[in-house]
Structure 1
């Protein structure tokens, strides 16, 4: 329930919040579906000539390709998003993510197309990455910039809910498909069903996005004539310090989100010789639990500060990394799922306020470029994580402790960078006077300056 002192949200802003949530849901449905399916069957479908371990490594490497394409999309869409506005690009990003997902569901395997099959798979993955590279910042900023400043922590957490919701949808569909079919049937054709069903979510999201209004912050920037002609140049010239700290702060999420996803699933199947459904169940349970938790953390960010909430949430992952792998090694279903669940909840805690935390570091005229660059360069680290982490498991003959130590190191590094933001930067008012608060679109912003 909205407290009396909280500013009201206009209908146009509500549509923007919904559009951001739907786009984020599709984004994480798309990438979660690919990562899970790649860990389960892509080694047999697209790389059947390799051993089980090497085939899994190659399949996870195709996951990384999409991550490497994301910075390209982030720079391209960030440039035009800072010059032309947020809403104009959101339909294009959805098409670039959605169409390749459907094509993957129709793509014949190695047995039919030979070497062309993995090549086309990589091409579709690249297009997905380019679209996703522009989607995250556009959806998050359109939401954050359209609501009152005092409620940006809470509403900024709503697009982040797309992560667990998309994860539940993708994992639920994969789990249902594995339960309703034999291993041979799933490998032959059933794995394609969730990819094809994604067309329903794609069409609905596109319909919603055709009715969007421009975000409040950018609309005001246009009225003031403050739009940057070269936002990347302006970002690197005048905001390099917060850019570097933001890149460091994003590292933990990029690493841990991919370790606890496809890497843990592959580890459970290959080295613990347990059902692949354990990793899927361990994704679905925390994805449901974290929904109210993330909204509460958004409110805490509004009350106690987004940076402080972000730092403590990041540190919680350092505490739970080793226990997660210890519980996995018990071989008991309940303890294994509990370990994955607790670690995923800690990851979701920092993710709830991440977009608002990043948006506050940069002024409107370079914000789309900056947030896209931070998120997508971090995605390169995330894209490298599955093959590197799995290679560590192969080198250690399935022992997870060096991998757990690497996870803790990345978490502590990110927490230090996020904490440094508070020590080196202070909030300064926008250079223009605050406009009247009507629909939440004409609110004065605060940016972090050296």
Structure 2
């Protein structure tokens, strides 16, 4: 039985451009805030907040606080998903930006262990938790703002805009850290220079807020509200009707997120402590990889609109399995030209795996449950992937003394994600479109696009 949807006029192209730009810029800045913590954890937070232990223990402790943000992300996804499905996408994006900016600046102002003792790591963990709440609600809202404004047949491409905000945030975070490390000596950097990237967030948040406050609500949410299809408790309905979908979708993201965080965070620490490269060299290699990462996102998202989500999503998962397996053997050559090939190659494949993800996750759920469903699925994959990955990589290398153990971890999680993608996107038969196409149609359910 078809669902009735109130037709809405297509938004003005200027409105669509601002919505997509807001998704990209806002996501880039939120992930800048989230990633500078990861970079700082790899480079400086251990001795500042967890002194009196070995370098390894300090690094593990810093990476453990990194995981706290991932633990908070599902909470942010559930809470903001609830209100995003009930009151709209826009308001939640503004709230997530305020939470993230406040926590990030707070970390930049936080006294170290030498100043306030045990309160320093406690407050650091608390602020990291708030960061996780903020970013947990960010992805779902930004993705829906882009995909629900997309013209017919371009949900994949438009949905890649917030995805491209992730490597853009990585570039920005690492450029700022690179400037700081190169413009001052190590003593200055450890004393106060590491705080500057966190405090710089004030200016970035102001720009993103200006863009987001001018964005209109999405046509899909407006249609759901006009037709009185707002769920009373969206997350309960999602779990009651689509819990398998949530778990499978989250499973497709475990490898991408896990490999990406090892790539972005652990490799910085590994390159400086084990391979003997300077911070500047490792940051430069990472920065050089990010434009290629964005290229992979745009290309795979566009191809998913042309060839279908299943073909591109599964093919990319296979490519990640192969590429991640040989990544560390190439890095271990400690030859900069080889690393300059290995890091962009992995970045490109990582981009391919997430390019279609916005459209895939959005198409799994109806509009009135979409924020809650897509956010929860994404955060399940994030906490099982990126939240544990830098800690596990550090522990595996310390335990076995070889990066082959990390490569084995990459292979295992890649196989899990590949299996989930194959099951989630298996071709289905349907007899009728579940949602008719108004002037500005909602995303069609994925069941119609993978056959």
TM-score by length of 2: 0.93
SS where residue 63 of structure 1 aligns? helix
Report the CA distance shift for 1:393/1:150 in structure 2 as closer, same or farther (over 3 A): same
1:323 Cα deviation from its structure 2 partner? 2.4
Pairing partner for 2:411 from 405, 408, 411: 408
Is the deviation greater in 148-157 or in 422-431? Answer: 422-431
Q: How many residues align?
A: 438
Is the deviation greater in 317-326 or in 421-430? Answer: 421-430
Pairing partner for 2:94 from 78, 91, 99: 91
Match of 1:326 in 2: 329
After TM superposition, list the pairs within 5 Å mapping 1:388-399 onto structure 2: 388-397=392-401, 399=402
Pairing partner for 2:198 from 170, 195, 199: 195
Pairing partner for 1:311 from 296, 311, 314: 314
Match of 1:43 in 2: 46
Determine if the alignment matches structure 1 residue 386 to structure 2 residue 390.
yes
After TM superposition, list the pairs within 5 Å mapping 1:136-151 onto structure 2: 136-151=139-154
1:8 Cα deviation from its structure 2 partner? 9.2
* CA contact 2:249–2:420 (8 Å) conserved in 1: yes
* CA contact 2:176–2:197 (8 Å) conserved in 1: yes
Report the CA distance shift for 1:428/1:123 in structure 2 as closer, same or farther (over 3 A): farther
1:444 Cα deviation from its structure 2 partner? 4.2
Structure 1 unaligned spans of 5+: 1-6, 437-441
Match of 2:6 in 1: none
Match of 1:282 in 2: 285
1:188 Cα deviation from its structure 2 partner? 0.7
1:449 Cα deviation from its structure 2 partner? 5.4
- Counterparts of 2:249 and 2:70, CA distance in 1: 18
Determine if the alignment matches structure 1 residue 135 to structure 2 residue 142.
no
Is the deviation greater in 56-65 or in 427-436? Answer: 427-436
Report the CA distance shift for 1:73/1:448 in structure 2 as closer, same or farther (over 3 A): same
* CA contact 2:326–2:407 (8 Å) conserved in 1: no
Q: Deviations over 1:96-134 (max 9, x none)?
A: 111111111111211111111111111110001001111
Report the CA distance shift for 1:359/1:196 in structure 2 as closer, same or farther (over 3 A): same
SS where residue 217 of structure 1 aligns? helix
Match of 1:351 in 2: 354
- Counterparts of 2:30 and 2:312, CA distance in 1: 25
- Counterparts of 1:32 and 1:115, CA distance in 2: 24
1:431 Cα deviation from its structure 2 partner? 4.3
Report the CA distance shift for 1:448/1:296 in structure 2 as closer, same or farther (over 3 A): closer
Report the CA distance shift for 1:23/1:444 in structure 2 as closer, same or farther (over 3 A): closer
Report the CA distance shift for 1:93/1:391 in structure 2 as closer, same or farther (over 3 A): same
SS where residue 239 of structure 1 aligns? helix
Match of 1:238 in 2: 241
SS where residue 179 of structure 1 aligns? helix
Determine if the alignment matches structure 1 residue 264 to structure 2 residue 263.
no
Report the CA distance shift for 1:278/1:338 in structure 2 as closer, same or farther (over 3 A): farther
Report the CA distance shift for 1:9/1:339 in structure 2 as closer, same or farther (over 3 A): farther
- Counterparts of 1:330 and 1:312, CA distance in 2: 28
Report the CA distance shift for 1:421/1:400 in structure 2 as closer, same or farther (over 3 A): same
1:362 Cα deviation from its structure 2 partner? 1.3
Report the CA distance shift for 1:433/1:317 in structure 2 as closer, same or farther (over 3 A): closer
SS where residue 301 of structure 1 aligns? helix
- Counterparts of 1:272 and 1:417, CA distance in 2: 35
- Counterparts of 2:114 and 2:149, CA distance in 1: 50
1:166 Cα deviation from its structure 2 partner? 0.8
Find runs of 4+ consecutive structure 1 residues off by over 4 angstroms: 426-432
* CA contact 1:311–1:419 (8 Å) conserved in 2: yes
1:344 Cα deviation from its structure 2 partner? 1.7
- Counterparts of 1:73 and 1:221, CA distance in 2: 23
Match of 1:254 in 2: 257
* CA contact 2:155–2:305 (8 Å) conserved in 1: yes
1:322 Cα deviation from its structure 2 partner? 3.2
Report the CA distance shift for 1:256/1:222 in structure 2 as closer, same or farther (over 3 A): same
TM-score by length of 1: 0.93
1:276 Cα deviation from its structure 2 partner? 2.6
* CA contact 1:261–1:279 (8 Å) conserved in 2: no
SS where residue 381 of structure 2 aligns? helix
SS where residue 317 of structure 2 aligns? helix
Determine if the alignment matches structure 1 residue 107 to structure 2 residue 105.
no
Match of 2:160 in 1: 157
- Counterparts of 1:93 and 1:8, CA distance in 2: 25
1:426 Cα deviation from its structure 2 partner? 4.8
- Counterparts of 2:443 and 2:229, CA distance in 1: 14
* CA contact 1:428–1:447 (8 Å) conserved in 2: no
Match of 2:80 in 1: 77
Report the CA distance shift for 1:171/1:385 in structure 2 as closer, same or farther (over 3 A): same
Report the CA distance shift for 1:96/1:180 in structure 2 as closer, same or farther (over 3 A): same
Determine if the alignment matches structure 1 residue 446 to structure 2 residue 449.
no
SS where residue 161 of structure 1 aligns? helix
Report the CA distance shift for 1:168/1:444 in structure 2 as closer, same or farther (over 3 A): closer
